[in-house]
């Protein structure tokens, strides 16, 4: 079998065998190795996970960080794409039947990706497309460098930009989970300390 980075397409089974405990994603048969994230990225992810977990405490929904493999089961006839595997920075899953064999099979209800210089293009273009095609109900893109959050909501088969939050807006709120509401300023506060 070829090693990651070589020009070949991998099946889902080959990807799972090769990935093991390594941090990698599968985009249309191509393996993408994940770089370590900067502290700013990880601090924002930690703060978001804390806010979502606190707001959803007592609900049947589970909040996961970036080590949960999410297998998006769809086929895109235009691109011939099927079975993309990603590691979202944060995902919320209400349907626990999607959780098996240590992974999530199917679209989470909500996904958050925090941009880093090395991942911004994939998060904004490829992963946004994959999440949209898979039917993720709500997708947040968080830019810690500009301290901005974009919230996209799935409507009629496509993501629609519903809100853009920054520290001046006060609070960010989920459309899918109305109980989730938090201070944008607090999420980024450690960056200015």
Greater pLDDT, 22 or 92: 92
Domain-embedded: residue 96: yes
Residue 44: give its domain's CATH number.
3.90.1570.10
3-state secondary structure of 106: coil
For residue 178, tell me if it sits in a domain.
Answer: yes
Residue 9 placed within a domain? no
For residue 179, give every residue at least 6 positions away whose Cβ sits within 8 Å of its Cβ, in sequence order, or none.
55, 56, 59
Residue 4 lies in a domain: no
In a domain, 62, yes or no: yes
pLDDT 10s digits, 153-191:
999 999 999 999 998 878 999 999 999 999 999 999 999
Per-chain mean pLDDT for the chain: 90
How far is it, in rounded angstroms, from Cα 8 to Cα 116? 27
Specify if 158 maps to a domain: yes
- Tell me, yes or no, whether 28 lies in a domain: no
* pTM, 2 dp: 0.91
Cα 70 from Cα 47, distance rounded (Å): 21
24 belongs to a structural domain: no
The number of folded domains in the chain is 1
Contacts of 52 (CB under 8 A, 6+ apart): 63, 90, 92, 177, 180
Domain that residue 45 falls in: 37-68+87-191
What confidence tens digit (pLDDT) does each residue in 54-84 have? 999 999 999 999 999 999 977 656 655 567 9
């Amino acid at each position: 079998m070829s090693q990651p980075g070589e020009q070949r397409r991998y099946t889902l089974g080959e990807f799972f065998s090769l990935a093991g405990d390594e941090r990698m994603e599968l985009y249309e048969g191509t393996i993408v190795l994940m770089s370590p994230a900067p502290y700013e990225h990880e601090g924002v992810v930690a703060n978001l996970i804390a806010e979502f977990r606190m707001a959803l405490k007592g609900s049947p929904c589970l909040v996961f960080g970036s080590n949960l493999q999410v297998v998006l089961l769809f086929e895109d006839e235009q691109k011939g794409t099927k079975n993309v595997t990603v590691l979202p920075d944060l995902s919320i899953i209400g349907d626990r039947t999607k959780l098996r064999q240590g992974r999530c099979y199917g679209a989470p209800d909500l996904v958050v990706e925090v941009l880093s210089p090395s991942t911004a293009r994939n998060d904004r273009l490829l992963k946004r497309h994959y999440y949209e095609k898979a039917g993720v109900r709500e997708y947040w893109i968080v830019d810690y460098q500009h301290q901005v959050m974009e919230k996209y909501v799935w409507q009629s088969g496509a993501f629609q930009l519903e809100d853009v939050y920054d520290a001046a807006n006060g609070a960010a709120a989920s459309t899918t989970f109305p109980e989730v509401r938090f201070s944008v300023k607090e999420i980024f506060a450690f960056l200015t300390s």
